[in-house]
Amino acid sequence: MTTTDVPLTKVLGAKTAKALAEHLDLHTAGDLIYHFPRRYDERGEHTDLRRLEVGEQVTVLAQVQGIGVKPMRQRKGNMLEVTIGDGSGATLTCTFFNQAWRERELTRGRWGLFAGKVTEFRGKRQLNGPAYQLLKADATQDEAAEEIEEFAGALIPVYPAAQAVPTWVIAKCVRTLLDTFEPPADPMPAAVRAKRNLVGIGTALREIHRPSSEAALYSAKHRLKWDEAFAVQLTLAQRRARAAAAPGTARPRRDDGILARFDSGLPYELTEGQRSVGEEIAADLGRAHPMHRLLQGEVGSGKTLVSVRAMLQVVDAGGQAALLAPTEVLATQHFRGISAQLGALGRAGELDGDPSGTQLTLVTGSLGAAARRAALAKVADGTAGIVVGTHALLYEGVDFHDLGLVVVDEQHRFGVEQRDALRAKAARPPHVLVMTATPIPRTVAMTVYGDLETSVLSQLPRGRSPIASHVVPALEKPAYLDRAWKRVREEVAAGHQAYVVCPRIGEGPEEESSPPADNESARRPPLAVTEVLPALRDHYLKGLRVEMLHGRMPPEEKDAVMRSFAAGDVDVLIATTVIEVGVDVPNSTVMIIMDADRFGVSQLHQLRGRVGRGSAPGVCLLHTEAVEGSAARERLDAVASTTDGFKLSEIDLEQRREGDVLGASQSGKHSHLRLLSLLRDEKLIKEARVEAAEVVGDDPDLTAHPALAASVAALVDEDRAEYLEKG
């Protein structure tokens, strides 16, 4: 019998095993048995060709509708063109060079599976030299290939494949494996299986590949989804249990400290959300166990103010707080903003400072030697109660006197090791507050941040203006882009300012785009700041004060540009996504995002949040050459239709590879989510969370469940567990 750890060379032979290893990274029987079909085609049921996009690697079930041979003009030989369709009206052209003999088997009316990369030539979608497997149309067609007999039942599995290893080759390999496969010991506790009505692991693994019925396939998928969700939730439950038992330093709130004085001096009232979230954080800080809290909220909801109040509570209790920002621009912005908020309370020891306050210090990589020494001395002796910085805070030589709270802004911009390095600078585990303005769907919060308590700020402070968003289809309606530039001029004439955002800085070694593949329609490179700037200065926005900002500029130059823009000395700032988070210029009212289809949904939402931050309404214009009806255009239409970040986060999740949500790219192992949908399986994830908490509550180390512990180790490997723990 074949167990999961048996090499595929012993099951399939050296040649086939080598192809699976090289092209699909499948090495053992376990790798192959967990290489699940991505969909199932039904014989007689037509595959919809209308949604296929250029550049997509596809396997389609279609019927030969026409065939013809014609000589090639530019080289010797002939080309066989086969038109296939699925009955929806959409067609694909399959082209074969100097292979006229295929005309004998690709006869009109034959159904088959065709695999290849969708390209476009003269406006027509096509597959060049596709691999294909003809299906047996009816009992009278004895020309059908022998391989088709191996397709069992009505459901034909379609696997994630490679050009050299098409789906039907994988299906054949799986069938060979199933003949001798010995399923592993069932890791799911019997009590959970019975309570949740889950089929055994052996049944699930067989039915997922060779389903005997739709009902059996559903049960198999449901069970295997449970394995994935349960493994992740067990890891998180163990993490929560360890965190609850970890020793920390309580930083209780004082009624007569800097925080109380700061609150009494605020020129506005806290929103209800800021007050309630503030109480949650204050209670966490007052406990002798490290806080691990995720604070998410819409752009402009006041997360920074909430974090400042938390930092002051820690300073009142004798500790220090560090705010880690992903870029120098954002770190400097935070430093200035917090300095302004604290006023004299942040300048203790200075002539105009409040002696009962604290000191605020900025640590970035661009500090001069003398300034750096002075800043680090304040950090080391505790004079600086609040330290703002970039990854420069992580370097050796940055020592804290008593680090009590780490605030990580825009956590998704940092690597695991970077976040952990800052926490390691505390004598005892510090409290941790993770902030993000990228709204996270509930299931992602439960799955990726399941070891963190979650707080949400959904209420915008009074005075924030609405933002209107519109798509500017440059190819279909060129006049719309002209109108967009006029709108910028109108806003500047009214005393406001504007952003123009581009996907790229300009030509550079790290930005050279690879040439298009043969017969693939060439897509122009994304627009770049250095290319668009002259056109704006010399033509579209001639006469306005236009400056640029991007990540390759020297820090002092970036800082000077931001200062000028904030002071109103620059009308239009053309920039990359360096302005994506934290940049706060209330006088900015209009943003044009060039090639908006090159950005993700969450990124567009973040960028849009840079306008409308004052009393005047904001407008965001999404420039694109994507045609109506394309997936890219639908994504932009969705962004334009709502400013609800949580709704957009669901759309964003739909379009991402959900397996990467757990950081799958950090590991080459086959341990990411295959079947579980963070978008559609919320109920299942909640149930798995409940069961995991019960199991870990009774058996924290899973000592009584060795098969389950091994399953968790396989599905959530060591790298992934660290990702979850340090998130």
Tell me the C-alpha distance between 667 and 129, whole Å: 34
Read off the pLDDT band of 413 (50, 70, 90): very low
pLDDT digits over 101-143, tens only?
A: 888 889 888 888 887 788 888 778 898 888 787 876 553 334 3
pLDDT of residue 533: 94
pLDDT digits over 47-87, tens only?
A: 568 778 787 777 787 889 999 988 877 677 888 999 998 87
In our burial notation (b when 16+ CB lie closer than 10 A, e otherwise), range 80-111 reads bbbbbbbeeebbbbbbbeeeeeeeeebeeebb
Q: Considering only residues 439 and 668, tell me which one the structure prediction assigns the higher pLDDT.
A: 439
What value does the mean pLDDT take over residues 495-516?
70
User: Which of 338, 240, 248 is closest to 285 using CA atoms?
Assistant: 248
Tell me the C-alpha distance between 388 and 324, whole Å: 6
Q: Position of tokens 């009206």? A: 89
User: Which of 235, 601, 218 is closest to 439 using CA atoms?
Assistant: 601
Please give the CATH number for the structural domain made up of 467-642. Answer: 3.40.50.300
> Residue 539 has what DSSP assignment?
I
Read off the pLDDT band of 507 (50, 70, 90): low
Please give the CATH number for the structural domain made up of 9-185. Answer: 2.40.50.140
Strands 546-549 and 384-389: unpaired
What value does the mean pLDDT take over residues 698-723?
74
3-state SS, residue 71: strand
With beta carbons less than 8 A apart as the criterion, state whether 705 and 188 touch: no
Strand runs (DSSP E) across 429-554, as ranges? 431-436, 453-457, 467-473, 497-501, 546-549
Read off the pLDDT band of 420 (50, 70, 90): low
Alpha helices in 581-717 (DSSP H): 601-608, 631-641, 645-655, 682-698, 706-715
Q: Considering only residues 438 and 171, tell me which one the structure prediction assigns the higher pLDDT.
A: 171
Strands 91-97 and 467-473: unpaired
> How much of the chain exceeds pLDDT 70, in percent?
83
Q: Is the dihedral of CA 145, 146, 151, 157 positive or negative?
A: negative
pLDDT digits over 289-300, tens only?
A: 888 888 887 766
pLDDT at 669 over 50: no
Question: DSSP states of 563-624 as a string?
Answer: HHHHHT--SEEEE-GGGSSS---TTEEEEEETTGGGS-HHHHHHHHTTSS-SSS-EEEEEEE
Tell me the C-alpha distance between 53 and 130, whole Å: 16
pLDDT of residue 522: 47
Tell me the C-alpha distance between 374 and 365, whole Å: 14
Q: Position of tokens 């399986």? A: 681
With beta carbons less than 8 A apart as the criterion, state whether 487 and 621 touch: yes
pLDDT of residue 660: 47
Other C-beta atoms closer than 10 Å to the C-beta of 76 total: 7
Q: Which two tokens stand for residue 517?
A: 């593949």
pLDDT of residue 315: 96
pLDDT of residue 523: 66
CATH of 291-457, one of 3.40.50.850, 3.40.50.300, 3.30.572.10, 2.60.40.2220: 3.40.50.300
Read off the pLDDT band of 441 (50, 70, 90): low
What value does the mean pLDDT take over residues 28-51?
78
User: Which of 388, 342, 380, 395 is closest to 361 using CA atoms?
Assistant: 388
What value does the mean pLDDT take over residues 601-629?
86
Q: Give the end-to-end CA distance of the chain in Å, rounded to a whole number.
A: 41
Read off the pLDDT band of 263 (50, 70, 90): very high
User: Which of 76, 77, 127 is closest to 106 using CA atoms?
Assistant: 127
Residues 6+ apart with CB under 8 A from 439: 296, 297, 298, 602, 605, 645, 646, 648, 649
Tell me the C-alpha distance between 378 and 376, whole Å: 5
Counting every residue, how long is the chain?
A: 727
Q: How far is CA 691 from CA 314, 610, 612, 644, 683, in A?
A: 36, 42, 45, 32, 13
Tell me the C-alpha distance between 139 and 155, whole Å: 18
Other C-beta atoms closer than 10 Å to the C-beta of 368 total: 8
pLDDT at 267 over 80: yes
Q: Which two tokens stand for residue 239?
A: 């993490």
> Max CA-CA distance within the chain?
98
With beta carbons less than 8 A apart as the criterion, state whether 444 and 602 touch: no
pLDDT of residue 181: 93
Residues 6+ apart with CB under 8 A from 557: none
Q: Which two tokens stand for residue 616?
A: 């005047």
pLDDT digits over 520-568, tens only?
A: 344 688 899 999 999 999 999 999 999 999 888 888 888 889 889 999 9
State the burial class of residue 468 (Cβ atoms within 10 Å of its Cβ: 0-12, 13-18, 19+). Answer: middle
9-185 against 291-457: fold identical: no
State how far Cα 162 lies from the chain centre. Answer: 24
* Least reliable range by pLDDT among 402-411, 429-438, 613-622, 651-660: 651-660
pLDDT of residue 450: 66
pLDDT of residue 338: 93
Alpha helices in 572-681 (DSSP H): 601-608, 631-641, 645-655
With beta carbons less than 8 A apart as the criterion, state whether 527 and 535 touch: no
Average model confidence (pLDDT) for the chain?
Answer: 82
User: Which of 433, 430, 450 is closest to 442 using CA atoms?
Assistant: 450
pLDDT at 235 over 80: yes
pLDDT at 655 over 80: no
pLDDT digits over 169-212, tens only?
A: 898 899 999 999 999 889 999 999 999 999 999 999 999 999 98
pLDDT at 433 over 60: yes
Read off the pLDDT band of 323 (50, 70, 90): very high
Edge-to-edge order in the sheet of strand 546-549: 467-473, 618-624, 588-593, 497-501, 572-575, 546-549
3-state SS, residue 377: helix
Read off the pLDDT band of 513 (50, 70, 90): very low
Domain segments of the chain as ranges:
9-185, 291-457, 467-642
Q: Considering only residues 669 and 497, tell me which one the structure prediction assigns the higher pLDDT.
A: 497
Q: Considering only residues 328 and 448, tell me which one the structure prediction assigns the higher pLDDT.
A: 328
Strands 124-128 and 155-158: unpaired
Q: Which two tokens stand for residue 170?
A: 């994988």
3-state SS, residue 208: helix
State the burial class of residue 539 (Cβ atoms within 10 Å of its Cβ: 0-12, 13-18, 19+). Answer: exposed
With beta carbons less than 8 A apart as the criterion, state whether 676 and 228 touch: yes
pLDDT at 275 over 80: yes
Strands 131-134 and 78-85: unpaired
Tell me the C-alpha distance between 347 and 336, whole Å: 13
- The vertex-59 CA angle with 53 and 60, nearest 5°, equals 85
